[in-house]
Amino acid sequence: MTKKSIGYMLIPFLTLLLTSCGDNSVSVVAQLMIEKEGSPRVIAHRGANEWYNESTITAYQIAAESGVDSLEIDLRMTRDGELIAMHDETIDRTTNGKGRVSDYTLKEIKTFRTLESNHSKVVTEEIPTLKEIIETFRDSQSYYIETRLVNGELAMEEKLIQLLEKYQLLEKNLVTIQSFSEESLLKIKELAPHTELALLFRKGSFSLEKASKVDFPIIGIESTDVTQKIVNELHKKGKEVHVYFIDRQTQKEEQERVMEYQVDGYFTDYIHFTKEILAI
């Protein structure tokens, strides 16, 4: 359970206590409790992808320099079992290559380059491994890592935990692990019981009943599925609500909308904008 979620769990108790005492400032006290626990998390979605090739060392460096709370890293596994930073199942969209990540060895993956147009100049950078990202930042950053099944099977969890333990990131509480796969999160919990875990729900598939019952302290929801009722109910259960956005054209508007609901985290593609609206 997160520190902020403990704060939310105390709010109903404070409300009852102050009401019985005739205090009319319950909402103010509740708000102060939330604020004391800290501002919402600003999570750099695939690094500072607004300015540089997503999921690259440079993108993560720019995000770190921008003062985000966590670096979000999507994991894929190569044919020879190495963990790399890549959102898609294939390398087609973001690199000069084609094909599924799982069909390539790491050596083969390293022959491709990420692509982006930056001021009419083609910028290229290799696809990084998770190890290379961690060795760049060590314990100077927090990491928000997404796991997934590999060809429908649990495959990356043990390797991931071994790597995080090697760099002592778990014992320093610098890692949150998220997944759409409940099976993957349960495996992580078995391997590293005290790791902060977040269950993701795909757009249109959110279930408040399930989110309320699962034993994970953070719930990740696509922005258009977020309502005030959902946030309130999950806060009552001691859970944080972290919001992701799949439409960049409406993302800023959606960030401002969900901000009114006091969500706890933003997977942002617009770091400066998010920090500006949150006044942090």
Q: Is 272 a catalytic residue?
A: no
Sign of the torsion formed by the C-alpha atoms of 247, 251, 253 and 254: positive
Candidate list 87, 119, 235, 242, residue with the active-site label: 87
Kindly report the number of other CB atoms within 10 A of residue 259's CB atom. Answer: 15
**CA dist., res. 199 & res. 194, Å (int):** 15
Q: Whose CA is closest to 251, among 279, 278, 224, 227?
A: 224
Tell me if residue 235 is catalytic: no
Residue among 45, 194, 235, 242 flagged as catalytic: 45
What is d(CA 248, CA 238) in angstroms, rounded to the nearest whole number? Answer: 30
Residue 26, both tokens:
């319950």
Alpha-carbon gap, residue 230 to 73, rounded angstroms? 26
Contact 130, 85 (CB under 8 A): yes
Of 185, 230, 229, 182, the C-alpha closest to 206 is: 230
The encoded tokens of residue 274 equal 């998010």
Catalytic residues: 45, 87
